[in-house]
Structure 1
Amino acid sequence: MPKEAIIPPGTGVPLAPYVPGTIADGVIYVSGTLAFDKDNNVVHVGDAAAQTRHVLTTIKGVIEAGGGTMDDVTFNQIFVKDWADYKAINAVYAEFFPGVKPARYCIQCGLVKPDALVEIASTAHVGKKG
């Protein structure tokens, strides 16, 4: 099955060997996304809601570059640094998914940079190209 990388314009160079998204057989897989600027610096330090908004806006850009919308998201994997931020993260998350919610899980763990508070990876079904 062929796959294509999705790299929206203005995307920074990833910290490791991956791309922001991949599409294969009508499914977009969005890599774990943190609140990074184009130079991989954490933005909105200390503000979980603002970081979540940045992360979901970045994910939206990847999905749209692959021909989809946030309504196509079927599954999210959410990683939080501290459960104290869970309520703020969910408030912003609900804004991005107002209709039928995607399935998801959420775990607490350490993230790649100490100032990062949330990371989200997404899967979206957009149909087959062609």
Structure 2
Amino acid sequence: MKKTAIHAGSRVEGAPYSPGIAIGDFIFVSGQIPMKPDTKEVIRDDFEAATEQCILNIERILKAAESDLEHCVKVVVFLADMENFSRMNAVYTRYFGDVKPARSCVQVARLPLDVEVEIEAIAVKKG
């Protein structure tokens, strides 16, 4: 099977990974931090906006790979502080359909660029 890198304008110069990989009917999305892809601005002072930006970044990559959030089958959320769990869920539930993907949520000691949240996903192509 051919493996295809999906960038969708979210590639960070010099980063040793692909933002997304499509192989067969699956799309694997690398962990997305709350960085706006067009400006590289990192959202730091608004946890809800940061969570939303992570999800929007995933959505952008999935769209470039012929998929969308409805087709996510697995999501992993990394939080710098588990106290933000309910705040993350409040944003998260607005973006995923009635049949939510399988999900794990873990607290970590530190995230890239000292952000508070990072989210990765696995989806299937539409159709």
**Normalized against structure 1, the TM-score is what?**
0.88
Cα distance in 1 between the residues matched to 2:78 and 2:89: 12
Residue 127 (structure 1) shift: 5.9
Provide closer, same or farther for how the CA distance between residues 127 and 69 of structure 1 changes in structure 2, counting only shifts above 3 A.
closer
* Superposition pairs of residues 10-29 of structure 1, within 5 angstroms: 10-14=9-13, 16-29=15-28
Unaligned regions of 5+ residues in structure 1, if any? none
Q: Which residue of 2 aligns with 1:99?
A: 98
Q: Aligned equivalents of 2:119 and 2:29: distance in 1? A: 9
How does 1:4-15 map onto structure 2 within 5 Å? 4-8=4-8, 10-14=9-13
Moved over 6 A (4+): none
Q: How does 1:1-130 map to 2 (within 5 A)?
A: 1-8=1-8, 10-14=9-13, 16-38=15-37, 40-43=40-43, 45-109=44-108, 110-114=110-114, 116-126=115-125
Per-residue deviation, 1:82: 0.5
Task: Figure out how many residues of one structure are paired with residues of the other and give that number.
Answer: 125
CA distance, structure 1, for counterparts of residue 81 and residue 73 of structure 2: 25
TM (norm. structure 2) is: 0.90
TM-fit CA distance, 1:31: 0.3
Q: Contact 1:46 / 1:117 at 8 angstroms: preserved in 2?
A: no
Q: Return the offset for 1:40.
A: 4.4
- Indicate if the aligned counterparts of 1:20 and 1:31 stay in contact, CA closer than 8 A: yes
Identity of aligned residues (%): 32
